[in-house]
Structure 1
Amino acid sequence: MIRKQLVRGLVSLSTVFMLGACSIQTGEQSISGVIEHSLQEMVSESVIMSSSNLNDYIADSPEAYGLILNTGEEGLNVLLQELEASADNGLKEWIMAQASTELLGDRNPVNEWNSGKDWLRQYKMSEE
């Protein structure tokens, strides 16, 4: 009888842990989806726009950029991972770096940078 209750308890705990892990993964996937969708919106709209001031692209899509910033610390982690994984170093990467600097706030160790990959390189060097 006690053995049966112990097995039920262990099965219940296993189920709770599995559901918790799925919830965390779903949350990360959701944040990643919000970021990716927002970046795509900003970059695709920029085809029409051809400003040499990269901040104009953010100013042109304040809602999309705001969604990225609202992802908080989890979003910062996603941005850093996506920026590192990207083979490109264009407008999308610049926006990811800019959002990262804003999410870091006073913790941002990089003062001057020219591109998203440049910002990431300096950020990683300061973290070591």
Structure 2
Amino acid sequence: MFCCALLLSACGKNIEKQIEEDLVTITTDPKLQFSSNPYVNITNNKKSYDDIVRHGEPALPYLVQTLKASENNGLKEWVMAYACMDILGEKNPVKEWATGKEWLNSYELGK
């Protein structure tokens, strides 16, 4: 039993590490440093974004918790919220939002 719990914990840390690496790729693209449209960062780094979403529902707790813990409300938070929205699909209770923190607040009210 302990072995299974340890394995699940290690998998979770691995997902978190991969998500963070992909977020860094998306949010630090030097070609897009002057872009004010966060969706451009996603489309120009589609593989990294798709890798985040491909983790599916196991990625949600990490994304939501990281978004909640962030003191910022910028590009990274917007990308995390958008990834949550894509992972949730039809289960996403938030229909309109402009910032990552706005999505998070609405999501927590709608759960």
Which TM-score band applies after superposition, normalised by the shorter structure? over 0.9
Report 1:51-66 matches (<5 A).
51-66=35-50
Higher relative contact order structure (alpha carbons within 8 Å, sequence separation ≥ 6): 2
Aligned residues: 110
Report 1:35-50 matches (<5 A).
35-45=19-29, 47-49=30-32, 50=34
Residue 51 of structure 1 and its aligned partner are, at CA, apart by 1.9
Q: Which has the larger radius of gyration?
A: 1
Identity %: 36
Correspondence for 1:32 = 16
- Deviation >6 Å, runs of 4+: none
Gaps spanning 5+ residues in structure 2: where?
A: none
Helix, strand or coil: the match of 1:51?
coil
Gaps spanning 5+ residues in structure 1: where?
A: 1-16
Residue 56 of structure 1 and its aligned partner are, at CA, apart by 0.5
TM-score by length of 2: 0.95
1:95 aligns with 2:74: no
